[in-house]
Amino acid sequence: MGLFWMSATQASSLGNDPLLDSPGAAPSAERKARGVLRARNQATLSSELAGRITEMPYADGQDFKKDAVLVRFDCSAYQAQLNAAQAAVRAAREELAHNKQLASLNSVGRFQVALAQARQAEAQAQAQVYQVQVKRCMVTAPFDGRVVARRVQPFESVAGGTALLEIVDNRTLEVHLLVPSSWLGSLKQGDRFEFIPDETGQPLQVEIKRLGARIDEGSQTLLLIGALPQDAPGLLAGMSGSARFLEAP
């Protein structure tokens, strides 16, 4: 049987060859998926009444604060109805007080007092209805955000239920991925992966926040939602990118 001999220099050079590492070793694998950024706070605001728009102070792309007036309607008719209802409440209150005074003198019976109380309650309920309508003359912002697009313009008359404008809060972005259902056993809440938006090219370390409630039967995919780092500026809803998951060797 022949002998194989090599010098110490040759042995050292072979020992550093990555293809000759320990038997069975394999490089770490990658799993990739495409994803999109979506905002938790986003909405299409609609009109709750029919009327003419008098003011829309925010244009497309402008920022606004919570409770800011985004749309204002002509409310003169509803305000007049509210004023009349409030006057009816005052009249019913005076009538009730007068009947109570007469009842203390035994000049009227309890029926008249009860009837005056019912009239006052009815007038108060009617006034509350008009108060709600007057409040609907202003559409206020439910959260801090930005106008995506106007669906209508000032001075237009719209019907109840008409879409007015789309808004979004880009500070509440999450990564939404559709991953193969076969990954389910190796994914858990709190794990991290890398997400690179196509528009910025900057890698982001994303934490798995939650997994979808069901697997799509047709595509055999599962929804994965990840939380972005707090210090990730310049991101907008709708950006897409690639996610990379590292697997153990």
CA 87 to chain centre: 41
The DSSP letter of residue 228 is P
State what percent of residues in the chain have pLDDT above 70: 87
Angle at which helices 110-135 and 76-104 pack, to 10 degrees? 160
Give the pLDDT band (50/70/90) at residue 193: very high
Taking the C-alpha atoms of residue 78 and residue 71, their distance in angstroms, rounded to an integer, is 16
CATH number given to 75-136: 1.10.287.470
Q: Does domain 30-40+170-246 have CATH number 2.40.10.10?
A: no
Tell whether the torsion through CA atoms of 227, 228, 230 and 236 is positive or negative.
negative
Residue 2 has pLDDT above 90, yes or no: no
Domain ranges (residues) in the chain: 30-40+170-246, 75-136
Give the pLDDT band (50/70/90) at residue 247: low
Q: Is 12 left (phi over 0), alpha (psi -120 to 50) or beta?
A: alpha
**How wide is the angle at C-alpha 56 spanned by C-alphas 160 and 42, nearest 5°?**
70
Sheet strand arrangement including 42-46: 42-46, 163-168, 145-150, 63-64
| Between 231 and 46, the higher pLDDT residue | 46
Taking the C-alpha atoms of residue 160 and residue 80, their distance in angstroms, rounded to an integer, is 20
Q: Which long-range contacts (CB under 8 A, 24 or more apart) does 6-14 make?
A: none
Taking the C-alpha atoms of residue 212 and residue 187, their distance in angstroms, rounded to an integer, is 12
**Please, are residues 37 and 232 in contact by the beta-carbon 8 Å criterion?**
no
Taking the C-alpha atoms of residue 206 and residue 245, their distance in angstroms, rounded to an integer, is 10
**Please, are residues 208 and 193 in contact by the beta-carbon 8 Å criterion?**
yes
The DSSP letter of residue 29 is P
Taking the C-alpha atoms of residue 57 and residue 31, their distance in angstroms, rounded to an integer, is 47
Residue range 194-219: average pLDDT?
A: 93
Tokens found for residue 133: 């309508």
Taking the C-alpha atoms of residue 33 and residue 194, their distance in angstroms, rounded to an integer, is 10
pLDDT of residue 1: 40
Residue range 59-67: average pLDDT?
A: 96
Residue range 119-123: average pLDDT?
A: 91
Q: What is the pLDDT of residues 70-119, one digit of tens each?
A: 999 999 998 999 999 999 999 998 988 888 888 787 777 788 888 888 98
User: What global pTM score does this model have?
Assistant: 0.72
Token pair 């939380």 is found at 227
